[in-house]
Amino acid sequence: MSARIDLPELARHRLTSTGLHGPAGTAQSVVGALTAVQCQDFGPAKWSVGQRAGAGDAEVQSTFDAGGLIRTHVLRPTWHLVLPDDLRWLLELTGPRVEVKNAYYARREGIDDELRLRTLRAVSAALSDGTALTRAELAGQLAADGIELGGVAGSLLLMHAEQQALVCSGPMRGKQHTYMLVDARVPPAAPRQRDEMLAELVHRYLAGHGPATVHDVVWWSSLTVADVRRGLDALGDVVTAVDADGLLAAADAPPPRPGPRVVLVQAYDEYVVGYADPRYREHPDSPATAKHQGSRHVVLLDGRAVGRWRRTTSARSVRIEVTLDVGLHRDEVDELHSAAGDYARHLGLDADVAVAHGTS
């Protein structure tokens, strides 16, 4: 154990553990390695998976539509992609925490236990034949029972149905997501002990995100500090302390890969949102105004943010506009253009890359 890992070294470790030195494996193996991939913005989330797997958008979409990836609210009150085999135990472990986070909003919207129960019964009946319905179609059927699925209240009611492992994603219909019953989409699973599930969640998070702290695991999973420490205790020497500041990693974690490595990550990539403290990815030469850019997509150099990017697609090409906050060397510029080419290939389009400097 070293006295302290500095931020550049921590960034390089995490760039490796989160799979951004890929490509390797399949869309499913990527999601399994990360345990969950934040997915409120579906297209960019497919890029998070595809860039790690070397898979195109169409390939990731096909895997999703076939049920190889499931989209639901889990870990936190936001959408994630998970493997079918992981859905039930992750919901059992973190679903109650999501419900706690939603409790205030449910009270504000006038949602009570009676309405939740009526909604669960009506949704189950509407989807009972294994069909997949869009939210609008589901709302139309539930309206006959006096249940409104519009607005915030509708979102909370459907999220409750997800936390109860009643519904999850079905195949997309055009650009519309659908709901299906979990029992029609996901294989059954044997009961598991809570301590076993805690240990697996903590270990897989550290293997796919480490080095990280207990606080990082708490942020990512919504579990309590006590639960995370309980999972760590069950793991023993499978997890190791890597410095004196509380950073932990899987004992068999690979060393960081050499740089330079430039990648274009989407705003909600696991590398960006998977930790409580963002300082590891802040480049010291980046202006203060550029360090907290909200939901903008990020350009990473060896794991540290050096700029932002956006894209505009046309029939045959994608224009990728990069704004750099830090000057790059020639080999790093070459890496940047290579990363842009990777994104264009993911979409099956030609790349049109424009690079500027500034804070716009």
For 174-203, write each residue's pLDDT tens digit.
Answer: 999 999 999 999 999 999 999 999 999 999
User: Which token pair is 260?
Assistant: 């330079």
Count of structural domains within the chain: 3
> Residue 15 falls within a domain, yes or no?
no
Q: Are residues 59 and 199 in the same domain?
A: no
Q: Do 274 and 181 reside in the same domain of the chain?
A: no
The better pLDDT of the pair 245, 291 is held by: 245
Q: Do 32 and 173 fall into the same domain?
A: yes
Give the pTM: 0.95
The pLDDT, as a whole number, for residue 360 is 47
Would the pLDDT of 101 be above 80? yes
Same domain? 303 vs 211: no
In a domain, 13, yes or no: no
d(C-alpha 259, C-alpha 240), whole Å: 25
Per-residue model confidence (pLDDT) at position 41:
96
Which residues does 7 contact at the CB level (< 8 Å), separation at least 6?
279, 280, 282, 304
pLDDT digits (tens, 9 = 90+) for 226-247: 999 999 999 999 999 998 789 9
Q: Does 2 fall in a domain?
A: no
Residue 1 lies in a domain: no
**CATH assignment at residue 219:** 1.10.10.10
Please check whether residue 114 lies inside any domain of the structure: yes
- Do 113 and 46 sit in the same domain of this protein? yes
Q: 330 lies in a domain? A: yes
Q: Which domain holds residue 71?
A: 22-185
Domain contains 256: no
What is the amino acid identity at position 110? G
How far is Cα 57 from Cα 343, in angstroms, rounded to an integer?
10
Whether the CB-CB separation of 241 and 1 falls below 8 Å is answered with: yes
**Do 178 and 285 belong together in one domain?**
no
